[in-house]
Amino acid sequence: MSIDLKHLTIKKAHDHFTKGDFSARELAETYLEEIEKKNKDLNAYLEVFQDALDQADEADKRIKEGKATLLTGIPFAIKDNILIKGRRAGAASKILEGYYATYDSTVAKKLKEEGVVFLGRTNMDEFAMGSSTENSAYGVTKNPYDHSRVAGGSSGGSAAAVAADMSLAALGSDTGGSIRQPAAFCGLTGLKPTYGAVSRYGLMAMGSSLDQIGSLTKTVEDARIIFNAIKGKDTFDATSRDFQTPTSKKKIRVGILNYFIDDLASNGVDPEVMVNYNEVKKKLESIGYEVKNITADVSSLKYSLATYYILMPAEVSSNLARFDGVKFGALEEGKNLLEDYLLTRGRGFGKEARRRIILGTYVLSAGYYDAYYNKANTVRSLIQKTFKNIFEEVDVVLTPTTPSPAFKIGEKSSNPLEMYLADIFTVTANIAGIPALSVKSGEATVDGKKLPLGVQFMASHGHENTLFDIGKNFERALS
């Protein structure tokens, strides 16, 4: 049977497997053919795993024995900062050249237990620093909808892989929007779970208080299936915990943050994004949701981006101290030990990584620690408190995912601050630790090409089911 990759979902693939329409091997072969055709141009994958078909054969055995789960045999792409034992992992950085993972991340372990097929590791901004995948040491990943544009970042490779039918699902990581923004740019569903819901063991740390592993998929249901498989308290990640994940309420109240309309709309948000956002509000109302302006004081949220760009570089400067050419990765030798460090890190890290480490070192240094890092933590607490108040009024907050559709390769790379503004809608969820889901919401026409747009739903800690519920209803209403 010829396989329709475009409309394939996890459940459909599973049904085809169990009915014997096609095997996991045939499905993996089909994706590998697509990768063969498209990856040279798109540069989504850094490596295609040689044993993908062997993994598929193992999955087929399970399927034949009737022991398949929903995820058995499902092809996955994995972001280059998530460890799979015995495989290369490098966070798209030269400083980790030659590094083979010495253990499985917990998410990889869980997915192995399900019997997924890992097709390969995907391109990303180096150490997850970026919003375009232009900061990869291995070239940018192109947007499948317009090859002159970025796929987004930092999980650009994962997004392009799924959007171009080079994988059915992908794992990414999200520290300030790195799953949701590329998902929006590539017309996908991207989930950043509640902080602590998914174990970070085996995820190369960027911002330890902000990072989460999540999924990029074509549908909300696929995101739900994957989330349920990878979530859970893990003794290897002390920040992880089980959440009650209550089933969603019958009447979900959707909240609108006024300051987006007043402040940002006139200030750098694409007019087509605002048009689409207003259409989304009307669509949600038409399918029965109450959409209301949030009345609580949300003024602290204006400082989300500034808070993020203090806390994250601070944590980055600490987390990246381990890359020194001593324990793993690449080593550039100098005359003495100090020079080993200076050269290894100076040459192994790319420009953006160096920039953020310097920034983090500054905000943590004596004399500035209080004004920057401590102050940012105070603002963070304020933001968290603000969300507590918000979620007493509403169940879900709705925003555009990004201020614009995918921008052109090179358009923002000369001005780091301009690039950071791409995260303006997404960083808040990481600061507050709340879950957020980006869903395809429409298209913008730019230079004669149709580019996807995404809309973001945020809910309170542990309320992923609310996100899946409204996400699925919205998805259905658009189809």
Q: Of the two residues 1 and 338, which places its CB atom closer to another protein in the complex?
A: 338
Q: Of the two residues 328 and 369, which places its CB atom closer to another protein in the complex?
A: 328
Q: Of the two residues 284 and 359, which places its CB atom closer to another protein in the complex?
A: 359
Query: What SS3 class is residue 127?
Result: helix
Closest CA relative to residue 439, chosen from 423, 419, 453, 422: 453
Q: In this structure, what are the phi and psi dihedrals at residue 292, rounded to the nearest 5 degrees?
A: -135, 155
Under 8 Å between Cβ of 202 and 108: yes
Closest CA relative to residue 166, chosen from 51, 6, 297, 281: 6
Q: Is residue 215 annotated as part of the catalytic site, yes or no?
A: no
Catalytic-labelled residue, pool 131, 136, 154, 441: 154
Q: How far is the CB of 142 from another protein (least distance, A)?
A: 26
Under 8 Å between Cβ of 301 and 428: yes
Q: Which helix (H) or strand (E) holds 61?
A: helix 52-64
d(CA 127, CA 391): 33
Catalytic-labelled residue, pool 23, 136, 155, 178: 178
Q: Of the two residues 187 and 313, which places its CB atom closer to another protein in the complex?
A: 313
Token digits for 118?
């890992």
Tell me whether strands 212-217 and 169-174 are parallel, antiparallel or unpaired: antiparallel
The residue behind tokens 């232009």 is: 134
How far is C-alpha 313 from the geometric centre of its chain's CA atoms? 18
Q: Residue 217 gets which letter from DSSP?
A: E
d(CA 457, CA 429): 10
Is the preceding peptide bond at 154 cis, omega within 30 degrees of 0?
Answer: yes
Q: Of the two residues 217 and 307, which places its CB atom closer to another protein in the complex?
A: 307
Q: Of the two residues 372 and 468, which places its CB atom closer to another protein in the complex?
A: 372
Q: How far is the CB of 360 from another protein (least distance, A)?
A: 8
Q: How far is the CB of 179 from another protein (least distance, A)?
A: 23
Q: Is residue 248 annotated as part of the catalytic site, yes or no?
A: no
- Binding residues for another protein, rule: CB under 8 A, are 99-100, 102, 196, 235, 238-239, 241, 300, 303, 306-307, 309-310, 317, 321, 324-331, 336-338, 340-343, 345-347, 349, 351, 354-355, 357-359, 361-362, 365, 371-372, 375-376, 378-379, 381-382, 385, 416-417, 420
Q: How far is the CB of 403 from another protein (least distance, A)?
A: 16
Helices marked H in 96-167 — which ranges? 106-114, 156-163
Tell me whether strands 436-446 and 189-192 are parallel, antiparallel or unpaired: antiparallel
Q: Of the two residues 274 and 306, which places its CB atom closer to another protein in the complex?
A: 306
Q: Which helix (H) or strand (E) holds 438?
A: strand 436-446
Q: Is residue 385 annotated as part of the catalytic site, yes or no?
A: no
Q: How far is the CB of 269 from another protein (least distance, A)?
A: 18
Q: How far is the CB of 378 from another protein (least distance, A)?
A: 6
Q: How far is the CB of 401 from another protein (least distance, A)?
A: 22
Residues assigned a catalytic role: 79, 154, 178
